Structure formats: structure tokens, C-alpha cells
Structure 1
Amino acid sequence: MNFPFESLKACLPELEAEASENDRDGSFPVAGLALIRSFGALSAALPKSLDGCGFGTDPGGATALMQLLRLTGEASLPLGRLLEGHINAIRLVARYGTPSQLRQLATHIRDGALCGIWVTETTNPVHILRNGTTLTLEGEKAFASGALHVTHPLITAETPDGETRMLIVPVDKNRKAAASIGGLCGMRGSGTGRFDFTGIGISPEAIIGAPGDYLRQPEFSAGAWRGMAVALGGIDRLVTLLRAQLIARGRDTNPYQRARIGEALIARETAALWTCKAALVSDDDVIPPADIAGTVNLARMAVERAGLDVIELTQRGLGLAAFIRTNVVERIMRDLATYLRQPAPDETLAEAAATFIRRDLPQP
């Protein structure tokens, strides 16, 4: 299966228009998701043996996956977030699940399933309750992207023995979910809400991998490169819009504006190089797990810094025009700033730096 990248590129304006429309009331990208599904984006991460493209699951598939996520993020960061979560779930099942579990998930995806990864706890975390041979869930997840639309979320839950397990939990239309997070300023079009799993029964087949697999390195840290690829797409779009709007206003010959454009291009290329390095390192089984995790964590910090720099350069370059709601730049800056806000940045940087105090970064 060859992925139609050119067809996806041709639809970027359409996807961007939907993202702007959905931002107004926090609507879910129904049309955009259907469009990228028609291109095969939702099955692209499945192994080639299961009629996928092997993006991120077969050896050598990281570069193409980076291109897919980057393009989707360029068109719509909320849609890119949903695609990245879907692919993340597939990747975890492929890595830690059984062949039977992966085949079953592939069947669901071909039948139209949307996966997601919901691991953020509320004050009522998810637990697995056992009553004889019956397993049921109790508790909630917060910041669940696509809370009303994901059909097969991968979640973490605590067992009666205090162990953390991963589960794929099919959910139906009778779900107990909040449609959105009230007051969220960016990524409003990703349908991020809360989901209550209380009372949902599961089978033993729903449990993926062994206790502690979700936090196992290098996968726990390495998977962050896929989010970087989506963010890189948002950075791409901001740089393009900065240049286009300065040209339209006849400000592109101003030396100070040219300096801003130059700095924005440097920041974008820095983000691209670090994301590519993280993707290649994560795809290399020879590199020690600690080095993979450390490299990806450094890349995560570099991409965050690049994104924030491009946002600031866009604001300074365009002035108050960048803050007008009808300017697509305003929405993309909010989406990108929200998307870049990942947990524990200081701890991540310190741990990554400690890994390479006495040795250099790996060269894939």
C-alpha cells in the first residue's frame, strides 16, 4: 500500500478551513477525519502484513510516518492530534500486545474504528474491579481527545494488586463523556473532554502487555517524537503565513522583518532536524534504550523552543493583525501553544542532559 501524500497535500486548505470553523464552537473534525480515512491514514500505521503501510510499526517506517503527521499538523493541529493518538495506540498494541490482539484491532480499524490514548487521571482514577471472573472498570480519564468519537481508546488502569495495565476498551454510543474541556483556549477542535468508564465490563483479552509496560523505556519517551512531527506541521504553517502576510502588506523588504523571517526559518529547520533525528533514533533497535529516551527528550525540548520562538516572531512581525480572530494565524498560534504544553519540561531536560554528560548523542 502506497500512501497518497500528494492527495493529502492538495486537501490542506480544506482541512485548515474546517479547523478554523470548528474552533468557534469546539466541534469535532468529522469531515477531516473522514477525508484522511479515505486516503488510508488511519490504517497507515498497521504493519504491511495486515494491509497497512507499516508507518511506525515496520522497520524503516518512521520517515514516512513523520511526513504523514507533519502534513496533517500543517493542515490542522487538532486533526493531527487525533491521528497521532490513534497511531500511538496502534504502536503500543503492536509492541506489547499479542499478534491476535493486533489482528483484531486491525479488523476494527478497517471497519471504521478510531483509536485514541487516554492516560491522564482525574481525582477518580480508573481501576479494574474483579468480581469472580467478571472484570469491570471504575473511574475517569481527563483530557481525552475525541471523547465523544473515539471508539477504541487505549487507557491505563490500576489492578486490585496495585499494578498499572494498558487496556483497549471498546466504547459505544451510550458512553458517559463530557464533550469538551470548558475554557480551553487552543486545540478546541479536537473534542477533548472527560470520560467516565465506571460500569464498563472488559474481557481479559482487552489487557495489553505486562504490568508496567506503558511506562517502559524507551517506548514511553520515544513515542513523543510523533507529537513533535504534528507540532512541526503547525510551525511550518505559521512560517508560511508570516512570509505570505508580510509580502501582502509590502513589508517583506524591511530589514527587520527579513531578520524575523530568517530567525523563523532557522527555528523551523531546527525543529525539523531534531524531529527527524528523534524519529530515526527511535526506529533503531541497536541504540541503547537510555540513549533513545534521552535523544527524544532533548528533541522534545528543542521543538518546543522552536515553536514558541516562531509564535513570538509571528506576533512581532504581524503586530496586532496576529491577534485578530478572523486571521487564521491567531487560531494556529493558540493551537500550537496549547499542543506544545507537555508535562514536566524541566525534569525532562535535566534527565536527558544527564544521559549525555559523559557521552555523545547516538548517530542513527
Structure 2
Amino acid sequence: MAASPGTLQRVTAELSARAAEHDRTGTFPAEGFETVRRAGLLTATVGRAHGGPGAGLAETVRILRALGAGDPAVALVTAMTLFTHAAQARLGHWPEDVYEEVVAESSRRPVLLNSLRVEPELGSPARGGLPATTATHVPGGGWRLSGRKIFSTGAVGLRWMLVWARTDEDPARVGAFLVRADSPGITVHPTWDHLGLRASRSDDVEFHDVLVPEGHTTGLHTPEEAPSRDPVTGSWNALGLTALYLGVAGAARDWLTGFLHERVPTSLGAPLATLPRFQEAVGEIEASLTGAEALVDGLAARVDAGDEEAVARAGLAKVVGTRAAIGAVEKALSLTGNRGLASASPLQRHYRDVLCSRVHTPQDDTVLVAAGRAALSRAAPPSATPHP
């Protein structure tokens, strides 16, 4: 069952009321996840086989845009949780008993899930390489996990961590180890000191001989046997996160329009909203965001319908959508000047948050190089040899 517009508006308002304080203090917005859970949004993508609504990508995009408008830190951790449930509904990687535990607990409290993949030396594994985090097999069953992950979004509030690691075998295997966050040997280091999304608490997590039970793994394989990346999972990530940041830009637009109605310069004797210059500028913002939202919504619906072309275009939609979001907030700042940059103004917070859209996978350069090569390949003469 899809969330009603009224439900999404209410949740957005509740999150927005506390977002500035969490941003100022850098504190994790725990109560925000309870708000999202009570509204049924945190488990929206749990599959019907496990008693969930089984929401698709189009519904997830609606949810994340609303949450992004309220508090993008809550939205980002929620996105990771929703993506994990959706992947389980499609691919079924988790052990059945473990996942049933996750679903059962989710009815009583917020159960936050995220994959921990980035490391100090490796950086993002999306660009290749093997993790330094290592799992050592324990005689009699299970693994001992040791290593350090950085940029671990929501670390202090996670219930389960999907930790990307290598085994100490020869040859080594690589995969995700399912780790309960209250397991002995886990330390969350408060390293997150960022320009934007301060409340996301994307801290470092250190694992020291953390015991992982036998079978609490997904997708273990040698590098040579590595399966190709699931493109549908990639499209969920690209379109879902783009929707989140379009929500941030929408909140900035709404603040701007309110400001333009309230601001009455004495020299003008009328609100700034009455001036054609401001009307045109707001129209440009509206056109940009409307086009980006339509693109994301349309592709999301097509992904749900199994359209492979839509899946392939999701990365480009992220480039288009996040650029539109950043551009909209930048234009809003140019229209408000010092008032928009004041620390009391939400506009400066929206700007800091929307800039974070650039760092998520897939990043612009990766998407554009692939798209450019594909376009050039289509136009190349039959005898042409592609450059490596």
C-alpha cells in the first residue's frame, strides 16, 4: 500500500522541525527514525513473502523525496535500509532465519541496515580493489572479523552492518559479512566532521576479532569468480538517492518562495515576489526541478516494469537530477544574498546538504565516461578499433 500524500507531508514536517538542531550539533536523529517507522516507511520495501508491502522503486522515490525535504540525514540512512530490504526481496541473499529476525524486530523499533564498504587505503570499492578488512575462519564454525571502515553512514544507529571483507583463505574470497552492531569487538569512532549531512554520523567503524556466526555471509566468491554487478540494484541506488536530493532542493525552493513573499524592501513597498526578475528566476528553478523529478519518476516506474533501457539510464538520471538540485539551491542563494547564507537560514544548510549528492556512487565521471564511450561506439565505423 502506497503512503498517502498526507502521511508524507506529516513526516516531512516532523523531520524538518528538528533537522536544523541535529545539523548544528551533529547529533544522530534517532527520534526521526521512530517517526519514519511509525509511518510504515522504514519497512516499505520488505517483500510480500515476509509480510511487507513490497514497495517498488517508484514508491521508494516518492518516500525518499519527502524525507529528503524534511531531514536528508534521516532520508539517507532510511534509503540504505530500504535498498537492503528491496535487494533481499529480489535476490534473497540473507539467511532466512536471520532475515526473519530483522523483520520481526522492525515491527517494534527502528532497525537500520547499511553496507560498510569504504576503507582508508582502498577508498570506494566501486572503483576496484580488494578490502583490507579480513575474516579468519574459526575452527568449529564462524569467522573472526577485523578491519576498519570509513564513511559508515548511520554507524551509531545501525542494528545490522553488511561488512565487505576478504577471507584469509588461499585463494581469498570476498563478500559481505552480516554483523549485529551490538556484537563485542565493534568500536564506532566519532570521526565525521563534514560540511553537509552532519547528522548522518558517517563515522569510522573498527572491528577487532568480531565473531560472525557460520552462514552469516552473502555472496562469498574469489575475485576471479566475481559476479557482474546487479544493474537493478545500481538503478535503485542512483534514482533513490537522486530523489532524496531533489527533496532537499524542493525544501530550498519552498523556503525561497516564502522569503520572497515576506521580504518587503522599503524602497519597493511591495514583496520581492511581485518583481518579474524574481518570478522568472523562481520559474527557472521550478522548470529544472520539475524536469528532473519527472525523469526520475518515469525511469523508476519503468525499472519496476522490468525495462532494461530504464535501468541502463539510471546513472545518467543521477547526473541530470543532482545537477538540477545543486543548481536550484545555488540560484536560490544568489537571489537571497546574505540572508540565505546566514547561519539561521535553512537555505545554507540545504546548500551544504545538496552538495553531498556528488559523492555517492555512481559518480559523475564514471557515468559520463561510460555514456560517452557507448555513444561513440554506436557512431563508430565498422573498422574502428576502440581505444582502451
Question: Above 0.5 in TM-score?
Answer: yes
Query: Relative to structure 2, which stretch is displaced further, 91-100 or 213-222?
Result: 213-222
- 2:163 corresponds, among 126, 131, 155, to 155
TM-score (norm 2): 0.83
Question: Residues 13-66 of structure 1, C-alpha deviation per residue, up to 9 Å, x if partnerless?
Answer: 3311211001111001111111111111122110123222111xxxxx222221
Give the aligned residue type for 1:110.
S
CA contact (8 A) 2:242 2:357 kept: no
- 2:262 corresponds, among 241, 244, 248, to 248
Residue 100 (structure 2) pairs with residue 103 (structure 1): yes
Structure 1 counterpart SS, 2:215 = helix
Q: Residue 88 of structure 1 corresponds to which residue in structure 2? A: 83
- 1:216 corresponds, among 218, 226, 230, to 230
Shift of 1:325: 0.7
Q: Residue 115 of structure 2 corresponds to which residue in structure 1? A: 117
Residue 283 (structure 2) pairs with residue 280 (structure 1): no
Structure 1 counterpart SS, 2:158 = coil
Shift of 1:4: 4.8
Unaligned runs of 5+ in 1: 56-60, 360-364
- 1:127 corresponds, among 118, 126, 134, to 134
Q: Residue 139 of structure 1 corresponds to which residue in structure 2? A: 147
Distance (Å, rounded) in 2 between the aligned partners of 1:50 and 1:266: 41
CA contact (8 A) 2:43 2:52 kept: yes
Q: Residue 306 of structure 1 corresponds to which residue in structure 2? A: 324
Give the aligned residue type for 1:131.
V
Give the aligned residue type for 1:346.
D
Root mean square deviation of aligned Cα: 2.4
Q: Residue 71 of structure 1 corresponds to which residue in structure 2? A: 66
Give the aligned residue type for 2:135.
I
CA contact (8 A) 2:339 2:345 kept: yes
Structure 2 counterpart SS, 1:198 = strand
Structure 2 counterpart SS, 1:215 = coil
Residue 346 (structure 2) pairs with residue 328 (structure 1): yes
Structure 1 counterpart SS, 2:208 = coil
- 1:171 corresponds, among 181, 201, 204, to 181
Sequence identity, in percent? 21
Q: Residue 58 of structure 1 corresponds to which residue in structure 2? A: none
CA contact (8 A) 1:63 1:276 kept: yes
Shift of 1:162: 3.3
Unaligned runs of 5+ in 2: 122-130, 264-270, 379-388
Distance (Å, rounded) in 1 between the aligned partners of 2:307 and 2:134: 36
CA contact (8 A) 1:43 1:109 kept: yes
CA contact (8 A) 2:47 2:86 kept: no
Distance (Å, rounded) in 2 between the aligned partners of 1:150 and 1:196: 14
CA contact (8 A) 1:147 1:178 kept: no
Shift of 1:166: 2.0
- Kindly name which structure, 1 or 2, has the bigger radius of gyration based on alpha carbons: 2
Distance (Å, rounded) in 2 between the aligned partners of 1:247 and 1:69: 28
Query: Relative to structure 2, which stretch is displaced further, 254-263 or 348-357?
Result: 348-357
